[in-house]
């Protein structure tokens, strides 16, 4: 059976009304406690654009300063703060969050799901993003903004007297914002892999979902190295640990490695979702399916993979070995191949179809044209001899903006004009859209193309003024004029979005005649889909007759909310076979409380308010524990439920079939990447120093690291026994085992710290003891989290919420222990045994 029998009009309306009651929007101040994907996605998008306009205003101030020689419109300090915040906000507070916003808004209906699996996590990410963004951006109004560039290179940025508190605001504020990005990545990966509609096999997924899956995976491997670098950086600034001080065994080049391991994949984290929007727009306006679906998916995967092998081309001028230059230069050239495949797929689709010209297509094609120019200059700077000439000149500024604005901002604007009817059933103005496009297209090229020439004429980046008569005068004036023309185009888009549209008629559903499921959503409803459909095609609206009507009439799965709960289906990863009816969390104040408390930790650390940081940390821990207790792994009132079409599914799953297990696994993959970055730092120092560890500096010895390793291994084994005893129903034995493991992990933590302490390793004296301490502290901090999880499992068991049948909490804790055990073994073998091998 693929559809249910037809219901009467009264039954249909009653079912809808029941769903509306379950998914209703809170009123008053409680509106902001909503966790619905529609609300959070739109909030995310609005906040991202506000930050973008703020950064754009800073850019205009910089162009006013550079319009003429010897200008004093801005002081050097204000200019430095402006360009640092401009780059920071555009990269961290607009380019990535805007796509997280679009994904949260579009993915549920696109995947045929009611909701993504962790709506409270999405809300937590949003509030973390907003609080962190206000903290970073607001600093400029107190003359405390970071001023060392959005890349924050040491030793300038590690010197407290030169960089002031602005560097701390940048480091800790962005670390907080990165938490939001990783939270969104976890939500998107689990949602795409586990919440697709039945029948939507992995080779039937919309291209947008494929791209977001790839990008979310890239975030897990790109952002953690920057978080690790931020930790090292802040430890040097806060406690004088010399990770980047060459006079005490450190090296500022380590920061460049950690930053650009993040920084270059970041470009493709920004670019690929923009291509995803174009991949949705082009088939609609070509009125045919995409040409070469498999090719474009493989090209996107290849682009993501190769992007992690390019970071060193930002460091060609640092004196690297010739073989490194050759390898990374070749890799930088190679990434052009999968990128070109994606563009040629779009061209082939347009040639094979009957193109309908529209404002979204105008922005999409204009963006691809600009991006292609940026790609060509990218091939130029990938060649080391040319890069040596163009490095740190305005040629690189031009290249960066051609790639990012052509590859991101223009496609985003195309997406705004394409998807706006899903917001309020109204269409944006074609005439205003065309005016905006030509102002933006012409203004952009007038602003940034001359920068290629000024860069080749020797104008360096990040100068706040320049002398008259050296050939840069008219080029900068033209660029400044173009910047204001471009800003006028952006302003037209803003006016078009914000202007009142009350008297304009509503457009019909699926106004553009698209083929993918996001167009079945109704702007006035809070759920993703009315009923969860069975999917048989990549473009189900085109290929499955009457699917929109059948979904709306509740003829598929979950047609009503009989128990008054928010529900969606969990399916298998590859074939999307339904395996669970999942109940998702509803409206809650806890995400806001947790985000505010975590924000308090980062703000307090910025100003060295240690007691306030501790209090905020305790508040955050309390909010998270309350969140977990009330919002996840709830024991249902019955074991299974009839979800429609004669299918009965369980309401509870644990282990590899549960979304919580997948979320833990994905989170720990990102955590493991950050840990690997710290270990990379240890061996980086070993490669650049002839005497690392230095002869005059004692290590932690062998005994205590070995003892710590043994304690952690024993604690892990006991946790495995606890899981097995719980399965067999030996509840008392399970509780005893968890308690014993808790004691063992405390013992291992003490032994791990005792070695460096007893051998008098001073972390301020040299990079070696500092690195040993940071690895030990990282492991012990994770052990503390493991101990909290063990106490939580004991509490759940004593409360009757952890049983042999309902054991998701314990299984997730054991999964965490797998990663912690690997971390402990690597840490204590490196700091305890490697000095002997060296």
pLDDT tens digits along 471-485: 999 999 999 999 999
* Predicted confidence (pLDDT) per residue in 259-281, tens digit: 999 999 999 999 999 999 999 99
19 versus 369: which is more confidently predicted?
369
227 versus 695: which is more confidently predicted?
227
* Both structure tokens of 42: 């739109």
Neighbours of 86 (CB within 10 A): 20
Cα 630 to Cα 796: distance, rounded to the nearest angstrom: 11
CB 240, CB 158: distance < 8 Å? no
Position 89 pLDDT exceeds 90? yes
Position 837 pLDDT exceeds 60? no
Position 339 pLDDT exceeds 80? yes
CB 657, CB 579: distance < 8 Å? yes
Triad 509, 515, 516: Cα angle to 5°? 85
The pLDDT, as a whole number, for residue 322 is 86
Confidence of residue 5 (pLDDT cuts 50, 70, 90): low
Task: Return the DSSP state at 532.
Answer: B
The pLDDT, as a whole number, for residue 836 is 63
* Both structure tokens of 593: 């409380």
Position 763 pLDDT exceeds 90? yes
Q: Calculate the alpha carbon distances from 101 to 43, 123, 180, 217, 493 in Å.
A: 8, 11, 12, 17, 18
Q: Are strands 578-583 and 567-571 parallel, antiparallel or unpaired?
A: antiparallel
* Predicted confidence (pLDDT) per residue in 709-744, tens digit: 999 999 999 999 999 999 999 999 999 999 999 999
Q: Are strands 647-650 and 640-644 parallel, antiparallel or unpaired?
A: antiparallel
**Looking at 406-499, which runs of residues are DSSP E strands?**
none
Q: What percent of the chain has pLDDT over 90?
A: 83
532 beta partners: 557
Helix axes 97-110 and 410-419, enclosed angle (nearest 10): 40
Residues sharing a CB contact under 8 Å with residue 284, sequence separation 6 or more, in sequence order: 418, 512, 513, 514, 515
CB 770, CB 761: distance < 8 Å? no
What is the pLDDT averaged over residues 283-298?
Answer: 95
Cα 418 to Cα 427: distance, rounded to the nearest angstrom: 9
457: helix, strand or coil: coil
What is the pLDDT averaged over residues 223-247?
Answer: 95
Mapping DSSP onto H, E and C, the string for 211-250 reads HHHHHHHHHHHHHHHHHHHHHHHHHHHHHCCCCCCHHHCC
Confidence of residue 23 (pLDDT cuts 50, 70, 90): confident
811 beta partners: none
Position 166 pLDDT exceeds 80? yes
* Both structure tokens of 469: 């008569």
What is the pLDDT averaged over residues 763-771?
Answer: 95
Cα 561 to Cα 632: distance, rounded to the nearest angstrom: 19
What is the pLDDT averaged over residues 681-704?
Answer: 88
The pLDDT, as a whole number, for residue 16 is 82
What is the pLDDT averaged over residues 240-250?
Answer: 95
Helix axes 767-798 and 703-727, enclosed angle (nearest 10): 20
Mapping DSSP onto H, E and C, the string for 53-76 reads HHHHHHHHHHHHHHCCCCCCCCCH
Among 174-183, 215-224, 598-607, name the one with the lowest average pLDDT.
174-183
Cα 366 to Cα 381: distance, rounded to the nearest angstrom: 23
Cα 285 to Cα 280: distance, rounded to the nearest angstrom: 9
* Predicted confidence (pLDDT) per residue in 498-556, tens digit: 999 888 889 988 889 999 999 998 888 888 899 999 999 999 999 999 999 999 888 99
Confidence of residue 313 (pLDDT cuts 50, 70, 90): confident
* Both structure tokens of 112: 């045929």
The pLDDT, as a whole number, for residue 694 is 86
Question: Which string of DSSP letters, residue by residue, matches 357-396?
Answer: P-HHHHHHHHHHHHHHHHHHHHHHHTSHHHHHHHTTBHHH
The pLDDT, as a whole number, for residue 1 is 52
Cα 515 to Cα 182: distance, rounded to the nearest angstrom: 31
Torsion on CA atoms 722, 723, 727, 730, rounded to nearest 10:
10
Confidence of residue 324 (pLDDT cuts 50, 70, 90): confident
Q: What is the pLDDT of the chain when averaged over all its residues? A: 93
User: Would you say how long the chain is, in residues?
Assistant: 838
The pLDDT, as a whole number, for residue 8 is 62
CB 215, CB 273: distance < 8 Å? yes
* Both structure tokens of 264: 């270059």
The pLDDT, as a whole number, for residue 7 is 57
- Report long-range pairs for 823-827 (Cβ below 8 Å, ≥24 apart): 823/672, 823/675, 823/778, 823/779, 823/782, 824/708, 824/709, 824/712, 824/713, 824/748, 824/752, 824/779, 824/783, 825/709, 825/712, 825/713, 826/675, 826/679, 827/705, 827/752, 827/775, 827/776, 827/778, 827/779
638: helix, strand or coil: coil
* Predicted confidence (pLDDT) per residue in 432-472, tens digit: 999 999 999 999 999 999 999 999 999 999 999 999 999 99
571 beta partners: 578
């Amino acid at each position: 059976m693929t559809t249910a029998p037809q219901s009467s009009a009264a039954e249909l309306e009653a079912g809808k009304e029941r769903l509306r009651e379950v998914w209703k929007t809170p009123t008053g101040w409680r509106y902001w406690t909503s966790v619905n994907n529609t609300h959070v996605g739109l909030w995310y998008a609005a906040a991202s654009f506000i930050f973008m306009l703020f950064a754009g205003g800073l850019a205009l101030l910089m162009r006013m300063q550079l319009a003429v020689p010897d200008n004093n419109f801005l002081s050097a300090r204000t200019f430095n703060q402006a360009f640092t915040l401009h780059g920071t906000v555009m990269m961290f507070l607009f380019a990535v969050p805007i796509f997280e916003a679009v994904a949260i808004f579009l993915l549920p209906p696109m995947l045929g799901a009611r909701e993504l699996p962790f709506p409270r996590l999405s809300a937590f990410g949003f509030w973390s993003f907003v609080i962190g963004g206000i903290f970073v951006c607001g600093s400029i109004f107190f003359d405390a903004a970071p001023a060392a560039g959005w890349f924050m290179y040491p030793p300038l940025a590690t010197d407290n007297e030169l960089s002031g508190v602005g560097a701390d605001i940048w480091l800790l504020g962005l670390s907080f914002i990165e938490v939001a990005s990783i939270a969104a990545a976890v939500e998107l990966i689990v949602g795409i892999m586990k919440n697709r509609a039945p029948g939507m096999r992995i080779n039937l997924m919309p291209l947008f979902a494929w791209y977001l899956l790839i990008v979310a995976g890239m975030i897990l491997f790109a952002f953690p190295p920057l978080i690790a670098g931020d930790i090292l950086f802040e430890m040097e600034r806060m406690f004088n640990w010399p990770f980047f001080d060459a006079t005490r065994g450190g090296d500022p080049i380590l920061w460049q490695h950690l930053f650009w391991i993040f920084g270059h994949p970041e470009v493709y984290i920004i670019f690929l979702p923009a291509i995803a929007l174009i991949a949705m727009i082009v088939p609609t306006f070509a009125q045919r399916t995409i040409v070469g679906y498999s090719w474009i998916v493989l090209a996107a995967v290849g682009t993501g993979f190769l992007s992690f092998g390019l970071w060193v081309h930002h460091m060609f001028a640092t004196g690297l070995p010739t073989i490194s230059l050759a390898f990374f230069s070749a890799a930088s050239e190679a990434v052009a191949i999968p990128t070109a495949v994606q563009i040629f797929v779009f061209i082939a689709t347009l040639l094979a179809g009957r193109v309908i010209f529209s404002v979204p297509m105008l922005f999409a094609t204009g963006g691809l044209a600009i991006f292609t120019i940026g790609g060509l200059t990218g091939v130029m700077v990938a060649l080391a001899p040319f890069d040596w000439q163009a490095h740190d000149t305005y040629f690189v500024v031009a290249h960066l903006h051609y790639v990012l604005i052509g590859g991101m901002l223009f496609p985003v604007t195309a997406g705004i004009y394409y998807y706006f009817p899903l917001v309020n059933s109204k269409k944006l103005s074609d005439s205003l859209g065309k005016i905006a496009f030509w102002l933006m297209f012409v203004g952009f090229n007038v602003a940034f193309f001359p920068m290629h020439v000024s860069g080749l004429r020797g104008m360096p980046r990040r100068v706040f003024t320049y002398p008259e008569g050296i050939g840069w005068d008219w080029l900068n004036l033209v660029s400044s004029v173009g910047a204001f023309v471009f800003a006028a185009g952006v302003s037209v888009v803003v006016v078009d979005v914000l202007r009142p549209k009350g008297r304009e008629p509503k457009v019909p559903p699926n106004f553009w005649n698209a083929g993918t499921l996001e167009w079945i959503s109704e702007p006035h409803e809070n759920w993703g889909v009315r009923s969860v459909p069975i999917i048989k095609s990549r473009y189900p609206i085109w290929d499955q007759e009457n699917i929109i009507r059948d979904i709306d009439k509740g003829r598929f799965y979950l047609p009503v909310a009989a128990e008054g709960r928010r529900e969606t289906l969990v399916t298998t990863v590859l074939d999307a076979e339904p395996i669970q009816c999942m109940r998702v969390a509803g409206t809650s104040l806890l995400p806001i409380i947790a985000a505010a408390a975590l924000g308090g930790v980062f703000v307090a650390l910025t100003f060295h308010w240690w007691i306030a940081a501790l209090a905020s940390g305790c508040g955050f821990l309390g909010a998270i524990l309350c969140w977990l207790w009330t919002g996840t792994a709830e024991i249902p009132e019955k074991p299974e439920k009839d979800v429609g079409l004669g299918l009965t599914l369980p309401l509870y799953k644990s282990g590899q079939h549960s979304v919580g297990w997948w979320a833990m696994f994905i989170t720990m993959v990102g955590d493991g990447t950050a840990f690997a970055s710290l270990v990379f730092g240890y061996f980086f120092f070993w490669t650049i120093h002839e005497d690392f560890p230095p002869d005059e500096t004692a290590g932690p010895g062998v005994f205590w690291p070995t003892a710590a390793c043994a304690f952690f291994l024993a604690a892990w084994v006991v946790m495995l026994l606890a899981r097995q005893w719980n399965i067999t129903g030996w509840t008392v034995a399970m509780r005893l085992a968890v308690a014993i493991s808790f004691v063992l992990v405390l013992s291992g933590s003490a032994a791990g710290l005792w070695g460096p302490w007893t051998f008098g390793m001073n972390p301020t004296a040299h990079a070696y003891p500092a690195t040993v301490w940071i690895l030990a502290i990282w492991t012990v901090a994770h052990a503390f989290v493991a101990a909290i999880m063990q106490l939580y499992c004991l509490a759940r068991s004593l409360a009757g919420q952890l049983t042999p049948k309902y054991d998701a909490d314990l299984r997730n804790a054991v999964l965490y222990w797998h990663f912690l055990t690997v971390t402990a073994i690597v840490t204590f073998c490196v700091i305890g045994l490697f000095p002997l091998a060296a």
